[in-house]
Amino acid sequence: MFRHLSLLLLSLCPLLAWADTPAQLRIQGSNTIGAVLAPALVKGLLEARGASDVSIVATDRSNETQVRARDAAGQPLRIDIAAHGSSTGFAALKAGQADLAAASRPIKASELDDLQALGDLNSAAAEHVIGLDGVAVIVHPDNPLPQLSTEQLAQVFAGRITDWQALGLGRGPIHLYARDDRSGTFETFKALVLDPTDQDLAASARRFESGEQLTRAVQDDRQAIGFSSLAAVHGAKVLAIVDGASKPMLPSAARVASEDYPLSRRLYFYLPPDQNNPWARALLEFAQSAQGQAIVTGSGFVGQQVQVLKVAPAHDMPARYQALARNAQRLSVNFRFQEGNASLDSKALRDVQRVADFLRHNGKLQQRAVLVGFGDAKNDPERAALLSRLRAMAVRRELARSGVELREVMGLGDELPVATNSAVEGRIRNRRVEVWVY
């Protein structure tokens, strides 16, 4: 009897070791990030630092996990991750229950005000883009619908279009599937699709805390339409999206990387500027590294590594742009600007360094790169062209600090829009600077 009791106690010792160990890092927030990506990044960081016995363990609470390991001295390490929605991450920071907030949308002005005691969470020291994602609009695999406009999407999810016949398909009620109100995925969809037309989500929509659960429900329902992170699409059919005068776009890696896809979004970690948790800062640096970005890509999202894209010339392109498409290649990085602002944000500053490193590695630092600026429509086309060139010049100044000497800088004004100019988010996407290389 005593022998069996001893064996039982020995088997419980590992569990007790982690239960009695306070968490070295507490991450709360986005389910999109916390379900797979955050545990994978933490696991990668611990392994890179020489930890042993690294494992991701589900707890008895849904959407919460622990990453457990032992350090070089054999002492237990524990990282706690709770993935209940982006808004919960900021609430946990305020309550002192998290060291790091994960968010699949930018922090809101109301949250900035609420957390001002923790410092400026909008600053480059606090806001860290760890990857990119596209909100994918999904239907049952047998649904023949190829695409929807953002206007149609808004009418569908607001409950104004309720039958598939109105979209050119056979009769049948449309069943709506959406993430819950705490989800950054829902808030992104709301901001990009519903808010521009002052509409609310229909009360009939079924709500889900988990993107995985939502996708499974859509796959089981031939009348369904929903939206999820790219990483949670699995076997559902993804629709192409049209925004304003843009061409239909699927959330391909290239379209999401350039943030041209209408429902593109950034994935964030937020760390209060005065937070001194060494594990939090180590995770932020690891997430930006080549190894960390490979984990982002491997988790189903889009990494921030610079890629070369081949663009086919088209008749609706300006002549100078057609020449570029014939003779050069576009890079996957785009630089974007707020209204009346030519300053680069934290992601853009890192992207400048990524572009410079790419050009250096490929022997293209001198006279091999071209910047092409675009803007939103203005009453005066010449002003639109000037503003687009000025934004390109702002990128040029930053690249010059890294030794890049450009071949040309051009401004094409409001040509080739990728989004509607009637909404703020669309105008921001149209104000962009592309990088091309010969």
Per DSSP, the residues of 86-132 read HHHHHHHHHHT--SEEEESSPPPHHHHHHTGGG--TTSTTTEEEEEE
Residue 78 neighbours by CB under 8 Å, 6+ apart: 18, 21, 22, 23, 24, 66, 67, 68
For residue 411, give the H/E element and its range: strand 408-411
No. of helices (H) and no. of strands (E), the chain: 15, 18
Listed range (42-46, 63-67, 142-146, 272-276) with the worst mean pLDDT = 272-276
Which residues of 157-259 form beta strands (DSSP E)? 175-179, 206-208, 224-229, 237-238, 240-242
Q: What does the pLDDT read at residue 9?
A: 47
Please give the torsion angle defined by the CA atoms of residues 139, 142, 144 and 146, in that order, rounded to the nearest 10 degrees: 40
The pair of three-digit structure tokens given for residue 76, joined into one six-digit string: 């237990």
Confidence of residue 117 (pLDDT cuts 50, 70, 90): very high
Residues 118-141: tens digit of each pLDDT: 999 999 899 999 999 999 999 999
Q: What is the DSSP letter of 421?
A: S
Confidence of residue 338 (pLDDT cuts 50, 70, 90): low
Confidence of residue 262 (pLDDT cuts 50, 70, 90): very high
Strand, helix or coil for residue 378: coil
Listed range (39-48, 105-114, 308-317, 423-432) with the worst mean pLDDT = 423-432
Q: What does the pLDDT read at residue 310?
A: 87
pLDDT value at 6 more than 70: no
Confidence of residue 177 (pLDDT cuts 50, 70, 90): very high
Q: Report, as an integer, the average pLDDT of 243-252.
A: 88
Q: Report, as an integer, the average pLDDT of 96-111.
A: 96
The pTM of the full predicted model, rounded to 2 decimals, is: 0.87
Confidence of residue 327 (pLDDT cuts 50, 70, 90): very high
Hey, which residues does 56 pair with through a beta bridge? Answer: 67
Tell which residue, 154, 151, 176, has the closest CA to residue 163: 176
Listed range (110-124, 138-152, 220-234, 410-424) with the worst mean pLDDT = 410-424
Q: Report, as an integer, the average pLDDT of 99-110.
A: 96
Q: What does the pLDDT read at residue 3?
A: 57
Q: Report, as an integer, the average pLDDT of 217-235.
A: 95
pLDDT value at 194 more than 60: yes
Residues 273-315: tens digit of each pLDDT: 988 999 999 999 999 999 999 999 999 999 999 999 989 999 9
Using a pLDDT cut of 90, give the percent of the chain over it. 78
Q: What domains can you pick out in the chain, each with its CATH number?
A: 2-129+268-298 (3.40.190.10), 133-257 (3.40.190.10), 306-437 (3.30.1330.60)
Mean pLDDT of the chain: 91
The pair of three-digit structure tokens given for residue 382, joined into one six-digit string: 């010449």
- Cα–Cα distance, 41 to 427 (Å, whole number): 34
In this structure, the strands spanning 64-70 and 76-82 are: antiparallel
